[in-house]
Structure 1
């Protein structure tokens, strides 16, 4: 596999390959662990489209597994660069209020906001969890600027355009994040080139699986 999975995740894939469709309870029994122990691993594999699941049926191999199981498709996937799939991020100024940041999350249907300074350089990121921590039980928090709750650069995980999609997936898995800013070093701070989200990667995997089925 191109994606660097844990031994347990690889074992799950092999079990599903041999016994699909198979339930989570059956997988847990095969591996000698509890069902909750496997929940995060199964969720990740489904998110990456390596597994698929149907209620009351069980787990079976996803399109991405079939694609990466093919040598040509695997090489193609490993050679794709971040700049080829990156999307347009949702940027907000660092003095924007927490209240307005929450509104932006909903109106833009975003799960992460990139915060920029007056020079339009990356200053940090804000997630729904950051905003929730600030607003719970604190009525006055809505007027607080996002610069007070954001995770500041350089204490965030980033990508550069030339990194591979495989690198992006490994970083997401390692740091348990849903998206990563793509930056270009610049004078006075990094410029934002774009971002890569889980949805970008899932869409790519689906495209590769479709191309493999068509013999591309």
Structure 2
């Protein structure tokens, strides 16, 4: 955790319930400056918040929190999942079918060499199909967000790195890549990191902590 996030936890511990405006005043910064830090702490369960009341310590808070330690020590490679990939030549119609049949919330687009060339979300597909007759026949390559304009992770990144990127780019999942030696060639896809993977890591850590407490 950053020094500012630790300071926020200590301020909330001392002054809870405390508003975001009050925390910003304590630290001498603007309220928007703290938005990502507070979102991260709430997401991790270290802080909780109630509208018109303020922030207070969450259930996951503890002076020595093993769940937090695991977020820093466990790598993306250890917990990542398998993404749903589709060829870039597929149509929007086929992409919509893949989205539902695979129960996916995002699709990775690959070229003939199975390398990452783009990403598409349900929102992208909805925007192109609403009010556009014949749009379902458009190649998915015309709709996708192209690499390298995609937020990605490396297998060696920590779970905390994944959380920070998800908050920064306001996404629920990120592709995990292995860049090739040729910078002109798109990267290989190693896996997929989602909020579900992160929750599983924290849940496993919580179970371990409970087991340790009972011994």
Q: TM above 0.5, one fold?
A: yes
CA RMSD of aligned residues (A): 3.4
Following the alignment from structure 1 to structure 2, what is the Cα–Cα distance between the partners of residues 132 and 156? 19
Following the alignment from structure 2 to structure 1, what is the Cα–Cα distance between the partners of residues 143 and 7? 39
Following the alignment from structure 1 to structure 2, what is the Cα–Cα distance between the partners of residues 158 and 39? 22
Judged with a 3 Å threshold, the aligned counterparts in structure 2 of structure 1 residues 144 and 64 are, in CA distance, closer, same or farther, namely farther
Aligned partner of 1:75 among 58, 69, 74: 69
Following the alignment from structure 2 to structure 1, what is the Cα–Cα distance between the partners of residues 151 and 6? 25
Following the alignment from structure 2 to structure 1, what is the Cα–Cα distance between the partners of residues 7 and 104? 33
Secondary structure of 1:92 counterpart: strand
Pairs within 5 Å for 1:81-160: 81-160=75-154
Question: Does 2:190 correspond to 1:193?
Answer: yes
Deviation at 1:72, TM superposition (A): 4.8
Following the alignment from structure 1 to structure 2, what is the Cα–Cα distance between the partners of residues 40 and 159? 19
Deviation at 1:73, TM superposition (A): 4.6
Q: Deviations over 1:132-161 (max 9, x none)?
A: 221121121111111001111111111111
Deviation at 1:27, TM superposition (A): 4.7
The number of equivalent residue pairs is: 204
Following the alignment from structure 1 to structure 2, what is the Cα–Cα distance between the partners of residues 138 and 122? 27
Match of 1:183?
Answer: 177
Following the alignment from structure 2 to structure 1, what is the Cα–Cα distance between the partners of residues 87 and 67? 41
Give ranges in structure 1 of 5+ residues lacking alignment: none
Following the alignment from structure 1 to structure 2, what is the Cα–Cα distance between the partners of residues 76 and 82? 11
Following the alignment from structure 1 to structure 2, what is the Cα–Cα distance between the partners of residues 59 and 164? 27
Following the alignment from structure 2 to structure 1, what is the Cα–Cα distance between the partners of residues 125 and 8? 35
76-85 or 148-157: bigger deviation = 76-85
Deviation at 1:10, TM superposition (A): 7.1
Residues 82 and 164 in structure 1, CA contact (< 8 A), matched pair in contact too: yes
Secondary structure of 2:171 counterpart: coil
Aligned partner of 1:209 among 206, 209, 213: 206
After TM superposition, the runs of 4+ consecutive aligned structure 1 residues lying more than 3 A away are 9-20, 26-32, 37-54, 58-66, 71-76
Following the alignment from structure 2 to structure 1, what is the Cα–Cα distance between the partners of residues 35 and 69? 30
